[in-house]
Amino acid sequence: MDLSVDLDQVVWWMRTSPQSPTLQNMICSRPTEDGWVTLKDDVLTVVSGGGRECEQLAGDAEVLAAYEKWFGFTLPQRPTPGPHARSDPSRVMAVDQD
C-alpha cells in the first residue's frame, strides 16, 4: 500500500492552509538524546526520561534565550507568525462543507 500520496496531501495542507497550526504559531522542535524539546510561541516543552515539563516564558528575552540554549541559534529578534496567522487566536475558522 503506497501512502506517499496521502502524506503529500497532508504536507501540502500543513504548508499552505491558513488553518494550519504551523502557520498560526511559531513552532520549533527537535529530538534530544532521550526525548524532544519544543518551543511553541512562548511555551517551552521538554520531554525526557519519561517526564514532561512545560514552561511559559516571560517575554522576548526568555524566548530568544530558549532558541539559543535548546536549538543552537541566535536570533536578532523574536520571530512572528506569517501573514496567514489569525489576529485573534480564540477565533475558530469554519470550513465550508458545500
Closest CA to 24 of 95, 89, 92: 89
CB 41 within 8 A of CB 25: yes
Res. 32: pLDDT tops 50 = yes
Question: Is pLDDT larger for residue 95 or for residue 30?
Answer: 30
Q: For 63-97, how does the pLDDT look when each residue is reduced to its tens digit (9 = 90+)? A: 999 999 999 999 999 887 766 565 544 443 333 33
Report the predicted TM-score, pTM, of the whole model to 2 decimal places.
0.67
The DSSP annotation for 73-98 comes to ---SS-----TTS-SSTTPPPP----
- Per-residue pLDDT at 27: 85
Looking at domain 4-71, which of 3.40.50.720, 3.20.20.30, 1.20.120.160, 3.30.2140.10 is its CATH number? 3.30.2140.10
Non-local CB neighbours of 68 within 8 Å, separated by 6+ positions:
74, 75
Closest CA to 27 of 13, 9, 15: 15
What integer is the mean pLDDT of 50-59? 94
Compute how many other C-beta atoms are within 10 angstroms of the C-beta atom of residue 39. Answer: 21
- Per-residue pLDDT at 12: 79
- Per-residue pLDDT at 96: 38
Res. 58: pLDDT tops 60 = yes
- Give the angle 84-7-10 at the CA atoms, nearest 5°: 20
- Per-residue pLDDT at 83: 66
